[in-house]
Amino acid sequence: MGVVTEFNSKQLETLVLAGDLKAFGQLIRLYDADLRSVVWSVVGSRADVDDVMQMSYEKAVNSLDKFEGRSSIKTWLYSICYRTAINHAKYERRRDHESVDAIDVSMSLVVEDQVLATAQVKELFDVLDIEQRGLLMAVYGLGFSFEEAGKIFGMPKGTVASKVGRTKKKLEKRGLL
Amino acid sequence: MSIEEFGTKFRYTAPEPEAGYWDNIDSMIAKKESEKNVDTDSELVCLTNMEQNIFEMKNQSRRLFTIAAGIMLVALVGAGVWIVNTGDNVEPSFASELEKDSEDNITDEDAVSESKDDDKSETEKDRKTDSVNADDSDGSKRATEKGVSKDTEDSEVLAGLNAEKIENDLKTEYGFKSVSIFEKSNMFLKPVVPDAMRSFGFDPIDPYIDNNSGKFYYSRVSEGGKGKIIVANNFDGEVLWETEADYDKVLYADDNFVVVSIGGGFDYYLDQLTGEVSFGLENIFGWEVAPAVLSVDGKTAYGIVENGIFAWDLYTNKVLWESKLAATPIIATADVIILNGIEKDIYVVDAGNGNLLKTYETDEFIKVISAP
């Protein structure tokens, strides 16, 4: 009889670093919701989110042996997901408002108290560029510090701060805040 | 609605995975795992083949040895005839033949290693060629764009600013603070935590010592996020005060102020004796100010605003100058400010008036300040 063992994220990360791909499968199940929210903020399309997530995980698996442990695996995964999403968005050449049309309206209605109204989300995607949406999600959606967000997005902390400041200003101007 | 609330709600709009999502990922991982196993198998096959090749090489070597021994024997006979004829007393030994043979074997190995060296030197050659090309296409372009000659004035612009000086600027009694210039070159200077702090159960992040009194020790309590600033006696660890609010880190402290950042774009100035907020940099330009860099004397702050950077006198609350330069201040000395520009550039700006003195690529800058 097989023994089912539940590892926490730290233990799983250790196993992943040792080359255990099954542990990688378990680890991304823990992180997937947070990672996909960053991808979502960039691509803005339900179908594309799944595609980009799968591409990102594949990239991560393929380059796992090159991971040097300078950051946590989670930060590394965020970085891969963000970059893959950006590349995907550029490749697809989607305009922001086109991709938002793919949002499932019923989702917003079911959990209305938790999420933004569809119109608000559409406006958000209209008014903010890819980078600003990503930073908004990372800093205010997921609670990263500017320093942590800087590591993921590959920019200095001060740049993150000023870009987030501009994002806030834009949202205020549109009456979204 | 606050931006925090907005961000949280935005997060909940992210779609759930569609049916079959995890199946696809699991099969991708399984495929990769089986490829990995195949790779391991092929490595074993390779090893086996290599062993086979070595075995064949040894056989060939033995054959060559036999031939060589035959030739040597003929030569010895010839030499013996010659010795007899000349009368010289030479005793040829069998050992010398073995040595000769082993030399032959080494020569075979040398041939392999030489070919490796050849490959290596070719690669180095290619790399050199690449770098020359890169310099041609990139370096000259940059220099032209910036309109700054890089061949001159390094010593003038960076007078008094070298790697040692930067370390001194950031040096505390117990170590160094990390600097983003060094982070770029993957060098992290870790602060050292004094034993007095450890014995009182502190786990300080970004510690700061007041260099004037050497008495106070500041830290935040949690890693990876904001935390309270704790001020303690450096010698016995006694806590003098701690803040109610969470901050990111301590930037500076003297007899009047403790300057802290909350990482959210504001810097606050706390009363050194009580920890209460004296004033903040918030909205002095009608714009949120990103965490600022302080001058060595703690009297001037250099920060980012929407349209560039600014210098602000902390004691008179006056703006000293503004600049349209799009860059992030990293460190300031009495004379210059070093800023992170876009595309890995480093800007050196006059601390007195904000004028751009020079532009470097990051690697070049590190090279310049690290030069003896």
Spell out the SS3 assignment of A12-59: HHHHHHCCCHHHHHHHHHHHHHHHHHHHHHHHCCHHHHHHHHHHHHHH
- Which H or E element spans position A151? helix A146-153
Nearest chain A residue to B186 by CA distance is A70
Is the Cβ–Cβ distance between A84 and A59 less than 8 Å?
yes
Structure tokens at A82: 């963000």
Do A42 and A133 form a contact (C-beta atoms < 8 A)? yes
**Exposed, middle or buried: residue B225 (CB in 10 Å: 0-12, 13-18, 19+)?**
middle
Give residues 70 to 109 of A whose Cβ lies within 8 Å of B. 70, 103-104, 107-108
* Per CATH, domain A7-94 is 1.10.1740.10: yes
At the topology level of CATH, where does B193-280 sit?
Thrombin, subunit H (2.40.10)
> How many Å is the Cα radius of gyration of chain B?
34
Cα–Cα–Cα angle for B160, B166, B171, rounded to 5 degrees: 130
CB contact under 8 A, B291 and A24: no
Please give the Cα distance from B343 to B209 (Å, whole number): 34
Q: What average pLDDT does range A3-22 have in this prediction?
A: 75
ipTM exceeds 0.85, yes or no: no
The A residues from 113 to 172 touching B (CB cutoff 8 Å) are 114-116, 121, 124, 136-137, 139-143, 145-148, 156-159, 161-162, 164-166, 168-169, 171
Q: What are phi and psi of A121, to 5 degrees?
A: -65, -40
Collect all residues of chain A within an 8 Å Cβ-Cβ radius of residue B306: 162, 165-166, 169
Q: Which of A30, A9, A12 is nearest to A20 (CA)?
A: A12
- Interface contact flag, A104 B264, Cβ < 8 Å: no
The CATH code of the domain at B152-188+282-372 is 2.40.10.480
pLDDT tens digits for A36-47? 999 999 988 878
DSSP run (H or E) holding B208: strand B205-209
Q: Do B28 and A162 touch (CB under 8 A)?
A: no
- CB-side exposure of B141: number of CA atoms within 13 Å? 6
CB A167 within 8 A of CB A132: yes
pLDDT along chain B (372 residues), means of 10: 84 88 92 73 47 49 53 55 46 36 35 34 37 34 34 48 42 34 30 49 54 51 61 67 75 67 58 68 50 68 76 77 82 80 78 88 75 62
Q: Where are the domains of chain B?
A: 22-91, 93-147, 152-188+282-372, 193-280
The model's pLDDT over B107-151, given as tens digits with 9 standing for 90+, comes to: 333 332 333 333 333 333 333 333 333 333 333 333 333 333 333
CB contact under 8 A, B290 and A162: yes
Mean pLDDT of A143-151: 85
A24, A136, A141: residue with CB nearest B29: A24
For residues B267 and B288, what is the distance between their CA atoms, to the nearest angstrom? Answer: 10
Percent of chain A, pLDDT > 70? Answer: 81
Mutation target among A34, A38, A72, A162 for the B interface, most CBs of B within 10 A: A162
Residue among B15, B180, B264 minimizing CB distance to A49: B15
Q: Which two tokens stand for residue A10?
A: 């730290």
Displacement of CA A152 from its chain's centroid (Å): 10
Model confidence pTM above 0.80? no
Shortest CA gap B238–chain A (Å) = 29
The answer for A 14-33 residues in CB contact with B (under 8 A) is 21-22, 24-25, 28-29, 32-33
Question: How far apart are alpha carbons B210 and A82 in whole angstroms?
Answer: 40
Residue A73 pLDDT more than 50?
A: yes
- Interatomic CA distance for residues A137 and B248, integer angstroms: 20
Q: Which residue of A has its CA nearest to B305?
A: A162
Tell me if B152-188+282-372 shares its fold with B193-280: yes
Task: For residue B230, give how far its alpha carbon lies from the nearest alpha carbon of chain A (Å).
Answer: 20
